[in-house]
């Protein structure tokens, strides 16, 4: 295996856990505050906001209109099944909704937080039983499959619930990122700290938003995630999303060995480090590599200011998707920074020793995980 020189992989210094810990407790930003970083983060999040708008719409469409369909051939078309739309889809002139599904599957598989706990509850099992009874009365194929594979339809409903919840989460984040771009444009946001604070305020404002999901089966509305489950935006969906997509992720087929004897993948999912904060910014554009799909979607919606900024650096258009990936990683550190800042157990200004100790423990837990991420992108020169 060829040895890749470090300078070709890492673009800047990598702060230690202690340095990151100090920044978090001081209320400082992880990403250096520079004019270039502000352009990168705001504009790449504007692009991402446009993409998330499409992702959110499609995930909610799938969960509501393609629910338990044996062959959901048109699930990526949002109900617009015209010949022209199908032709563009087949020619890949479209948003890559496969990446949205990858994120959903990561959340479902890693299974952390309140949403996953509810999906394992007796109440959810009762909801599934009611839905399956009504659905199988009118669907001969499902009526045959369910007795043969009694866990199959339940797992599909779990996936649909996660799909809808992620769609609701991304609806909030899309609006938040587009609002951020408008705030920067009219002068309300002019620094990386202001970016982090703007995102933090948005997360806090949406924290208690209820997460609910129901389906219509043969003219009857049945709950999958009912209001009485008490699921909310921040703790039950946003935090599990950060854990599954920003931190853990999933190893991509064709990039590492899935052979247990090769020991390239940890048997402990909690030790996975394949998420957005750990990824090498090298999209291969090969089929099925999820970040490449996202970078292509963002390229289609790239603001002209950022596109011109990229053209002035290194290989211009030749490595534009790699540049997008690097900017996106910086923006995800800002989002993570905002989430940490908004979820400290106590005010950072607290003088109570017990509260200070709780804040230090919280910051240490985060800095320990972030210290081995791609923090080289935080450097002012990166």
Q: What is the distance between the alpha carbons of residues 370 and 20, in angstroms, rounded to a whole number?
A: 8
Q: What is the pTM of this model?
A: 0.92
Helices (H), the chain: 6-9, 17-26, 35-65, 83-90, 97-110, 113-119, 122-138, 140-148, 152-185, 192-206, 233, 239-241, 290-300, 304-311, 320-342, 353-370
What pLDDT shows up at residue 13?
73
Residues facing 222 on adjacent strands = 215
What pLDDT shows up at residue 287?
60
Contact (Cβ atoms closer than 8 angstroms) between residue 180 and residue 195: yes
Q: What is the distance between the alpha carbons of residues 42 and 268, in angstroms, rounded to a whole number?
A: 36
Sequence-ordered list of residues with C-beta below 8 angstroms from that of 166, at least 6 positions apart, any chain: 59, 100, 103, 104, 107, 237, 241
Q: What is the distance between the alpha carbons of residues 32 and 305, in angstroms, rounded to a whole number?
A: 20
* 10-residue mean pLDDT series, the chain (382 residues): 40 83 96 96 98 98 94 92 91 91 95 94 97 94 94 96 98 98 97 98 97 95 97 95 93 79 87 89 66 90 95 82 92 96 95 96 96 89 67
Q: Note the pLDDT tens digit of each residue in 27-86.
A: 999 999 999 999 999 999 999 999 999 999 999 999 999 999 988 999 999 999 999 999
Is 380 in a helix, a strand, or coil? coil
What pLDDT shows up at residue 314?
74
What pLDDT shows up at residue 142?
94
For 240-297, the DSSP string reads HHIIIIIII--PPBTTB---GGGT-S-S-GGG---STTT--S-----TT-HHHHHHHH
């Amino acid at each position: 295996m060829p040895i890749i020189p470090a300078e070709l992989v890492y673009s800047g210094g990598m702060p230690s856990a202690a340095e990151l810990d100090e920044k978090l407790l001081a209320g400082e930003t992880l990403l250096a505050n520079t004019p270039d970083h502000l352009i990168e983060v705001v504009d790449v999040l504007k692009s991402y906001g446009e993409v998330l708008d499409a992702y959110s719409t499609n995930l909610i469409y799938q969960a509501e209109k393609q629910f338990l369909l044996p062959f959901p051939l048109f699930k990526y078309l949002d109900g617009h099944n015209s010949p022209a739309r199908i032709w563009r889809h087949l020619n890949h002139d479209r948003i890559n909704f496969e990446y949205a599904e990858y994120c959903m599957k990561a959340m479902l598989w890693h299974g952390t937080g309140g949403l996953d706990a509810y999906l394992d509850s007796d109440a959810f099992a009762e909801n599934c039983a009611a839905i399956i009874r009504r659905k199988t009365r009118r669907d001969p194929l499902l009526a045959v499959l369910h007795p043969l594979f009694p866990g199959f339809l339940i797992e599909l409903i779990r996936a649909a619930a996660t799909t809808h919840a992620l769609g609701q989460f991304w609806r909030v984040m899309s609006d938040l990122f587009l609002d951020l771009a408008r705030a920067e444009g009219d002068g309300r946001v002019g620094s990386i700290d202001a970016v982090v604070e703007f995102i933090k305020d948005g997360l806090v404002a949406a924290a208690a938003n209820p997460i609910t999901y129901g389906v219509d089966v043969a003219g009857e509305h049945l709950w999958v995630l009912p209001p009485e489950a008490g699921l909310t935006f921040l703790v039950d969906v946003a935090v599990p999303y950060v854990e599954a997509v920003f931190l853990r992720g999933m190893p991509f087929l064709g990039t590492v060995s899935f052979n247990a004897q090769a020991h390239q993948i940890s048997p402990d999912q909690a030790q996975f480090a394949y998420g957005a904060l750990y990824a090498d910014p090298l999209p291969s554009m090969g089929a099925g590599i999820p970040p490449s799909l996202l970078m292509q979607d963002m390229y289609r919606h790239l603001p002209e200011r950022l596109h011109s900024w990229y053209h002035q650096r290194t290989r211009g258009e030749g490595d534009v998707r790699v540049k997008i990936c690097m900017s996106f990683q910086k923006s995800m550190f800002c989002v993570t920074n905002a989430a940490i800042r908004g979820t400290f157990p106590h005010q950072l200004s607290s003088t109570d020793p017990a509260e200070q100790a709780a804040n230090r423990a919280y910051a240490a837990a985060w800095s320990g995980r972030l210290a081995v991420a791609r923090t080289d992108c935080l450097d002012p020169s990166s």
